[in-house]
Each structure stands twice: as C-alpha cells, then as structure tokens.
C-alpha cells in the first residue's frame, strides 16, 4: 500500500495557475523581444546600479525589516505620515498582505474581471470568495455593478486603475460616487501599478481618495515606471491601523536590502525616470494611432500596454507575434495584451497587426 500523501487545503489544490509572461524566442538569429509582462524596457539608471553594487556588500546581513529609510522617503514623497506607509515584496506582495489582513473563509472580495490575474488567486488562498464583476462594454470598470455586488460579507473591493490588461482608468467622479456609497467598513484598494503612465486629466487619483476616506488604500510599485521589477518592492498607503495590519501580515524581511536601496535611489532619480516614462507614453500613442489607422478598435490605454480584444483568436495572434520574435500575452478567449517596449519591438508588433487584418 502507498502511504497517504500530505493533505492539502482544497482552496489551494483548486488554484488557477499564475501564468507569467513567456520569454521571447528569436527566430533564426534575429533579436527577440519580451512584450508579455509589462516590464520597463530600459535597464536601471547608472546611479541606481551604483547604489546596488554598494548594497551587495551587505547581503550577509538581514535587511532593515521595517524598511525605515525607504518608508521615510515614500512618506515624504506623498506628504503623508510614515504611519500610513507599508512596504512589501512587490505590490503583489502587499496585495497578499491586504487580503490576509482583511479576509478569511466566508468573506467576499469584489473586483472587476478581467483584471490583474493575481486577484482571484490571492483571494482563493485566503479562503475568502472571489466576486468577479464583468467589465463594462468600454472595457472599463462597471462601478454600479460592483457596488451592487457588495454584500454584508464583503470585506474588500479591488479597483485597478489603469486596469491590467485593458489600460482603462476610473474617472474621478465615478470613484467619488463609488466611495460615497460603499460601506465604510469595507476596505477599497486602488491598485495604481501603472499610474505614472496616465495622461488623462479625468482619471481618478487614488492618493487623493486615500486622503479623504479612511477605508481607501492605494497600491504602488517600483516595478513598472521605476523599472525595478526584478527587485520586488511595492507599497501601500493606508490609514494607520490598516497600514499596521499590513506590516503585521508581511513576510519578515520580504523587501531585500538591495530592493530598499534601489527604491530609495529611484525616488531620488524620479525626474530622470519619468523622462523614460514620457518616451514610453509617446510610443504608446504612436502604436495606438497606427493600429487605429489599420482598422483596429482598441480602448485608450493609460498604461504601458495596449489591449486587443481578439476573442477566440487570441492564441493565434500571439503565435503570429512569436513568429517574428515578439512574445505578447494572450488571455484565454478574451484578448491579447501587448506591452509597449523598445521601438523596434513595437514596430514588429504593429507589422504583425497589419498583416493580421489583411489575411
Ligand atoms: N498590480 C497590477 C495591476 C499589476 O499589473 C501588477 C504586475 N503585473 C502588479 C500589481 C504587481 O506588480 P509588482 O508585484 O511587481 O509590484
């Protein structure tokens, strides 16, 4: 007889996989480009690399568990008290802390769908129930439907603006109406991973909402505009008791000394980094205009990616991109998300899109 296997929680055995963006494969000697993970195509600034080289000498020691210096810089940057800042292992780590701090079995978490694929996974791990609410026809959040989905069991609402993978934003007055109506004992997380890429004056400002509502927490990351995806550092701004709960549920020493040092250096070099963001925004607008000229319909993106609703032809389109050395991100039978990357990579994608329409 075979010995019994270790018992696993049902909620974990049934988890959907988190599918990371595929690496690009170069076709016969030509360059390969990864446009599948919303990464920043620019390498770290020389000043950030210098700080990292220095910090390497201390990796025999545990980092500052409270990330005090980084927390001070984040607090100063947003002009909020340090008590309102909690850091984590990427903003997805902070998201996990949020769910651990607010939810358990029997609780409900409302979020739009399709949105960031980690949402249903971290909710399911906690034992809480995911309540996905379909996006509106314009690919944006349907806040009325999300409000209607809130029940006495709802502990958490996740809003993603700009939304991954559609690039849509929530408007300022739509967020204000939502926050006025949602019960104040429900935590509303505004995930602003791509906020630096927003150029729409109507887009909601999560930090402003956090200043007005004790039940709003904002998630930010150093992975996208700041280009530190590989170092894993993000943070939340939240009311002091909420931020304290997020610190309590964090993995101890989850933000490495390298990550803390690089994040501090990146905040100091913010102006230089934002010039790169400006170039990526210009590329986004160039790509969007080219696709529309070709005849594609796509939502205005406020992030570093564009969204093509290709339905059941999504995998086929991704394969056509693979063939020219560009890896993009198909999402089931919904659509394909393409990160704005190097100009040559964007051009290859635009060429595939053009050829696709004239098949
Ligand atoms: N939120 C959103 C909306 C995202 O798209 C991502 C990255 N894909 C994250 C959070 C997590 O990013 P990180 O953990 O690198 O901060």
Give the separation between CA 320 and CA 352, rounded to whole angstroms.
7
Distance CA 219, CA 205 (A): 12
pLDDT at 294 over 90: yes
For residue 357, the CA-to-ligand 1 centroid distance in Å is 31
Q: Is the pLDDT of residue 83 over 90?
A: yes
Q: Which residues line ligand 1 (CB under 6 A)?
A: 38, 90-92, 116, 160, 164, 191, 193, 221, 223, 229, 234
Distance 3 CA to ligand 1 centre (A): 40
Helices (H), the chain: 10-13, 46-56, 68-78, 90-102, 118-126, 143-148, 172-181, 206-212, 240-248, 257-268, 270-294, 314-322, 343-357
Average pLDDT over residues 72-98: 98
Per-residue pLDDT tens digits for 328-356: 999 999 999 999 999 999 999 999 999 99
Q: What is the pLDDT of residue 338?
A: 98
**pLDDT per position as a tens digit, 35-69:** 999 999 999 999 999 999 999 999 999 999 999 99
* pLDDT reported for residue 28: 85
The pLDDT tens digits for 219-267 are: 999 999 999 999 999 999 999 999 999 999 999 999 999 999 999 999 9
Task: Quote the pLDDT of residue 19.
Answer: 87
Give the pLDDT confidence score for residue 17 in this predicted structure. Answer: 86
293 C-alpha to ligand 1 centroid (Å): 31
Question: What distance in Å separates the CA atoms of residue 72 and residue 222, rounded to the nearest whole number?
Answer: 16
The helix/strand/coil state of 336 is: strand
CA 37 to ligand 1: nearest atom: 8
Digit-coded pLDDT (tens) for 124-157: 999 999 999 999 999 999 999 999 999 999 999 9
Ligand 1 geometric centre to CA of 358 (Å): 35
Q: If 0-12 CB within 10 Å is exposed, 13-18 middle and 19+ buried, where does residue 8 land?
A: exposed
Tens digits of residue pLDDT in 145-192: 999 999 999 999 999 999 999 999 999 999 999 999 999 999 999 999
Q: What is the pTM of this model?
A: 0.97
Task: Work out the percent of the chain whose per-residue pLDDT is above 90.
Answer: 94
pLDDT value, residue 342? 97
Q: What is the pLDDT of residue 260?
A: 98
C-beta separation of 38 from 303 below 8 A = yes
Contact call for residues 318 and 330 (beta carbons, < 8 A): yes
Q: What is the rounded distance in angstroms from the CA atom of residue 97 to the CA atom of residue 103?
A: 10
- Rounded Cα gap, residues 123 and 180, in angstroms: 25
Burial of 14 (0-12, 13-18, 19+ CB in 10 A): exposed
Cβ-contact 318, 310 below 8 angstroms: no
Q: For the chain, what is the mean pLDDT? A: 97
Residue 206 and residue 198: Cα distance in Å, rounded?
A: 12
pLDDT higher than 90, residue 29 = no
Q: pLDDT at position 266, please?
A: 98
ipTM of the complex: 0.99
Q: Are strands 305-308 and 234-237 parallel, antiparallel or unpaired?
A: unpaired
The CA distance from 121 to 237, in Å, is 22
Distance CA 2, CA 354 (A): 57
pLDDT the model gives residue 1: 83
Taking the CA of residue 229 as reference, the ligand 1 atom at the shortest distance is: 15
């Amino acid at each position: 007889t075979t010995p019994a296997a270790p018992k696993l929680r049902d909620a974990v055995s049934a988890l959907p996989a988190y599918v990371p963006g595929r690496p690009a494969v170069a076709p016969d000697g030509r360059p390969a480009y990864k446009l599948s993970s919303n990464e920043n195509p620019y390498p770290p600034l020389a000043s950030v690399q210098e700080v990292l080289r220095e910090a390497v000498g201390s990796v025999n020691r545990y980092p500052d568990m409270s990330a005090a210096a980084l927390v001070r810089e984040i607090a100063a940057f947003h002009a909020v008290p340090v008590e309102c800042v909690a850091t984590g292992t990427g903003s997805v780590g902070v998201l996990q802390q949020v769910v651990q701090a607010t939810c358990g079995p029997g609780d409900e978490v409302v979020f739009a769908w399709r949105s960031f694929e980690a949402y249903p996974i971290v909710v399911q791990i906690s034992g809480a129930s995911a309540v996905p609410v379909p996006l509106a026809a314009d690919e944006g959040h349907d806040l009325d439907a999300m409000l209607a989905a809130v029940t006495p069991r709802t502990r958490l609402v996740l809003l993603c603006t700009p939304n991954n993978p559609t690039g849509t934003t929530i408007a300022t007055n739509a967020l204000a109406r939502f926050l006025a109506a949602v019960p104040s004992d429900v935590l509303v997380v505004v995930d602003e991973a791509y906020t630096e890429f927003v150029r729409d004056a109507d887009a909601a400002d999560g930090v402003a909402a956090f200043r007005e509502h004790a039940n709003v927490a904002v998630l930010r990351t150093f992975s996208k505009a700041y280009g530190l995806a590989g170092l894993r550092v993000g943070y939340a701004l939240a009311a002091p008791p909420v931020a304290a709960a997020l610190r309590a549920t964090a993995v101890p020493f989850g933000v490495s000394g390298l990550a803390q040092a690089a994040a501090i250096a990146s905040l100091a070099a913010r102006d230089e980094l934002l010039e790169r963001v400006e170039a990526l925004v210009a590329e986004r607008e160039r790509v969007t205009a080219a696709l529309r000229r070709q005849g594609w319909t796509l939502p205005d993106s406020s992030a570093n990616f564009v969204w093509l609703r290709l339905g059941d032809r999504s995998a086929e389109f991704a394969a056509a991109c693979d063939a020219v050395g560009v890896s993009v991100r198909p999402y089931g039978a919904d659509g394909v998300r393409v990160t704005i990357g190097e100009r040559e990579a964007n051009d290859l994608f635009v060429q595939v899109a053009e050829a696709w329409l004239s098949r």
